[in-house]
Chain A
Amino acid sequence: MTDVLVCIKRVPGASGEVLLSDDGQRVDARHVGWTLSAHEECAIELATQVAGATGGTATVLTVGSADAIEQLRDALALGCDRAVLVEAETDRFGPVDVAAAIAEVVRAHEAAGTSYGLVLLGNDAADTGDFQVPVRLAYALARPVVTGIATCTVEGDLVVAHGDGPDGPETFELPVPAVVAVMEGGVAPRYPSVMGRMKAKKVAIEQVAAEIEPVGSGRVRLTLPPEQPSQVQVLGQGADAAPAVVDLLEELGMVSR
Chain B
Amino acid sequence: MATVPSSARVVVIGAGIVGNSLVYHLAKLGWRDIVQIDKGPLPNPGGSTGHASNFIFPVDHSREITDLTLDSVEQYREMGVFTQSGGFEVARSEERMEELRRRMSSARAWGIQSELVSPEQVVEQVPFLDPSVIVGAFWTPSVGVVDSLRAGTIMRERALELGALQVVATVEVVGLDVEGGRITRVRTSGGDIEADTVVIACGVWSPALAEMAGAHIPLTPAVHQMISVGPIPQLADREGEISYPIVRDMDTFCYERQHGADMEVGSYAHRAILHDVGEIPSIEQAKLSPTEMPFTSDDFDPQLEQAFELMPDALGADGAEIRYAINGLLSLTPDGAPILGETPEVKGLWSAAAVWVKEGPGVGRLVAEWMTDGPPEVDLSHSDIARFYPHQQTRAHVRARTSEAFNKTYGIVHPGEQWSSDRNKRLAPMHASQQQLGAVFFEAVGWERPFWYASNEALLGDYGDAVLPREHEWDSRWWSPIINAEHLAMRERAGVVDLSAFAIFDVVGSAAVRAVQHAVVAQTDVAPGRVVYTPVLDQRGGFRSDLTIMRLGDDHYRVVTGGAHGMVDRKTFVDAMPADGSAQVVDLTSAYTTIGLWGPRARDILGSITAADISHDGFGFGRCRDIEIDTMSVLASRISYVGELGWELYLPMEQGARLWDLVLSAGAPHGAVPVGIGVYATTGRLEKGYRAMGAELDSERTVPEAGMMRPRVKDADFVGREAYLKQRAADPATVLCTLSVDDHTSASGQRRFMLGGEPILAHDGEPLVDGHGHRPYVTSAGSAPSLGTHLLMAYLPPDQAVVGTQLAVSYMEERYPVTVATADATPPFDPTNERIKGEQ
Q: List residues of chain A with CB under 8 Å of any chain B CB.
A: 13-17, 19, 29-35, 70, 73-74, 190-195, 197-198, 201
Task: Please indicate the chain B residues that have their CB under 8 angstroms from the CB of A29 in the complex.
Answer: 294
Number of A-B contacts (CB under 8 A): 70
CB < 8 Å: which of B287, B294, B296, B321 contacts A192?
Answer: B321
Task: Please indicate the chain A residues that have their CB under 8 angstroms from the CB of B305 in the complex.
Answer: 198
Cβ-based interface call for B581 (8 A): no
A70 touches B297 (CB 8 A): yes
A201 touches B282 (CB 8 A): no
A194 touches B315 (CB 8 A): yes
Cβ-based interface call for B322 (8 A): yes
B284 touches A194 (CB 8 A): no
Bound Cα distance from A198 to B279, whole angstroms: 31
A33 and B287 in contact (CB under 8 A), knowing A193-B322, A194-B322, A195-B316? yes
A194 and B307 in contact (CB under 8 A), knowing A31-B287, A33-B293? yes
CB < 8 Å: which of A15, A191, A197 contacts B323?
Answer: A191
10 sample A-B contacts, Cβ–Cβ < 8 Å, listed by A number: A13-B294, A15-B284, A15-B286, A32-B281, A32-B287, A33-B294, A193-B322, A194-B229, A197-B301, A201-B301
Task: Please indicate the chain A residues that have their CB under 8 angstroms from the CB of B284 in the complex.
Answer: 15-17
Residue in chain A with minimal CB distance to B325? A191
A31 touches B297 (CB 8 A): no
Q: List residues of chain B with CB under 8 Å of any chain A CB.
A: 229, 279, 281-282, 284-287, 293-298, 301, 304-305, 307-308, 315-316, 320-323
CB < 8 Å: which of A32, A70, A197 contacts B285?
Answer: A32
Tell me how far the C-beta of B227 lies from the nearest C-beta in chain A, rounded to whole angstroms: 9
Task: Please indicate the chain A residues that have their CB under 8 angstroms from the CB of B316 in the complex.
Answer: 193-195
Bound Cα distance from A13 to B304, whole angstroms: 23
Residue in chain A with minimal CB distance to B227? A194
A190 touches B321 (CB 8 A): yes
Tell me how far the C-beta of A11 lies from the nearest C-beta in chain B, rounded to whole angstroms: 12
Task: Please indicate the chain B residues that have their CB under 8 angstroms from the CB of A15 in the complex.
Answer: 281, 284-287
Bound Cα distance from A19 to B308, whole angstroms: 38
What 4 A-B pairs come out closest when comparing CB atoms? Answer: A33-B294, A31-B281, A191-B321, A17-B284
Interface of B is mostly: mixed
Task: Please indicate the chain B residues that have their CB under 8 angstroms from the CB of A17 in the complex.
Answer: 282, 284-285
Bound Cα distance from A65 to B321, whole angstroms: 28
Task: Please indicate the chain B residues that have their CB under 8 angstroms from the CB of A16 in the complex.
Answer: 284-286
Bound Cα distance from A127 to B285, whole angstroms: 15
Task: Please indicate the chain B residues that have their CB under 8 angstroms from the CB of A194 in the complex.
Answer: 229, 304, 307-308, 315-316, 320, 322
New A-B contacts (18) at CB < 8 Å, excluding given A13-B287, A14-B287, A195-B316: A16-B285, A30-B279, A31-B285, A31-B286, A32-B286, A33-B294, A33-B296, A70-B298, A74-B297, A191-B322, A191-B323, A193-B316, A193-B322, A194-B307, A194-B316, A194-B322, A198-B304, A201-B301
Bound Cα distance from A100 to B298, whole angstroms: 30
Task: Please indicate the chain A residues that have their CB under 8 angstroms from the CB of B304 in the complex.
Answer: 194, 197-198
Task: Please indicate the chain A residues that have their CB under 8 angstroms from the CB of B322 in the complex.
Answer: 191-194, 197
Bound Cα distance from A30 to B287, whole angstroms: 11
B285 touches A19 (CB 8 A): yes
Task: Please indicate the chain B residues that have their CB under 8 angstroms from the CB of A13 in the complex.
Answer: 287, 294
Bound Cα distance from A30 to B279, whole angstroms: 8
Bound Cα distance from A31 to B297, whole angstroms: 16
Interface centre among A19, A74, A192 (most CB of B within 10 A): A192
Bound Cα distance from A70 to B298, whole angstroms: 8
A197 touches B281 (CB 8 A): no
A197 and B297 in contact (CB under 8 A), knowing A191-B323, A192-B322? yes
B308 touches A198 (CB 8 A): yes
Residue in chain B with minimal CB distance to A195? B316
Residue in chain A with minimal CB distance to B316? A195
CB < 8 Å: which of A34, A190, A195, A197 contacts B294?
Answer: A34
Task: Please indicate the chain B residues that have their CB under 8 angstroms from the CB of A73 in the complex.
Answer: 297
Residue in chain A with minimal CB distance to B308? A194
Bound Cα distance from A31 to B296, whole angstroms: 12
Tell me how far the C-beta of B287 lies from the nearest C-beta in chain A, rounded to whole angstroms: 4
Residue in chain B with minimal CB distance to A191? B321
Tell me how far the C-beta of A16 lies from the nearest C-beta in chain B, rounded to whole angstroms: 5
Task: Please indicate the chain A residues that have their CB under 8 angstroms from the CB of B320 in the complex.
Answer: 193-194
B321 touches A193 (CB 8 A): yes
Task: Please indicate the chain B residues that have their CB under 8 angstroms from the CB of A30 in the complex.
Answer: 279, 281
Residue in chain B with minimal CB distance to A29? B294
Residue in chain B with minimal CB distance to A194? B315
Task: Please indicate the chain A residues that have their CB under 8 angstroms from the CB of B281 in the complex.
Answer: 15, 30-32
Residue in chain B with minimal CB distance to A33? B294
Tell me how far the C-beta of A24 lies from the nearest C-beta in chain B, rounded to whole angstroms: 18
Bound Cα distance from A74 to B297, whole angstroms: 9
Task: Please indicate the chain A residues that have their CB under 8 angstroms from the CB of B229 in the complex.
Answer: 193-194
Task: Please indicate the chain B residues that have their CB under 8 angstroms from the CB of A33 in the complex.
Answer: 287, 293-296
Task: Please indicate the chain A residues that have their CB under 8 angstroms from the CB of B287 in the complex.
Answer: 13-15, 31-33
Residue in chain B with minimal CB distance to A78? B321
Task: Please indicate the chain B residues that have their CB under 8 angstroms from the CB of A193 in the complex.
Answer: 229, 316, 320-322
Tell me how far the C-beta of B319 lies from the nearest C-beta in chain A, rounded to whole angstroms: 8
Tell me how far the C-beta of A50 lies from the nearest C-beta in chain B, rounded to whole angstroms: 20
Task: Please indicate the chain A residues that have their CB under 8 angstroms from the CB of B285 in the complex.
Answer: 15-17, 19, 31-32
Task: Please indicate the chain B residues that have their CB under 8 angstroms from the CB of A19 in the complex.
Answer: 285
Residue in chain A with minimal CB distance to B290? A31
Tell me how far the C-beta of A180 lies from the nearest C-beta in chain B, rounded to whole angstroms: 25
Bound Cα distance from A12 to B94, whole angstroms: 45
Bound Cα distance from A14 to B294, whole angstroms: 11
Residue in chain A with minimal CB distance to B230? A191
Interface centre among B285, B298, B301, B308 (most CB of A within 10 A): B285
Interface centre among A17, A29, A35, A70 (most CB of B within 10 A): A17
Task: Please indicate the chain B residues that have their CB under 8 angstroms from the CB of A35 in the complex.
Answer: 294
Tell me how far the C-beta of B321 lies from the nearest C-beta in chain A, rounded to whole angstroms: 4
Task: Please indicate the chain A residues that have their CB under 8 angstroms from the CB of B296 in the complex.
Answer: 33
Bound Cα distance from A14 to B279, whole angstroms: 17
Bound Cα distance from A77 to B297, whole angstroms: 11
Bound Cα distance from A197 to B295, whole angstroms: 14
Bound Cα distance from A201 to B285, whole angstroms: 31
Tell me how far the C-beta of A66 lies from the nearest C-beta in chain B, rounded to whole angstroms: 12
Bound Cα distance from A251 to B294, whole angstroms: 34
Interface centre among A31, A34, A194 (most CB of B within 10 A): A194
Bound Cα distance from A153 to B323, whole angstroms: 26
Task: Please indicate the chain A residues that have their CB under 8 angstroms from the CB of B298 in the complex.
Answer: 70
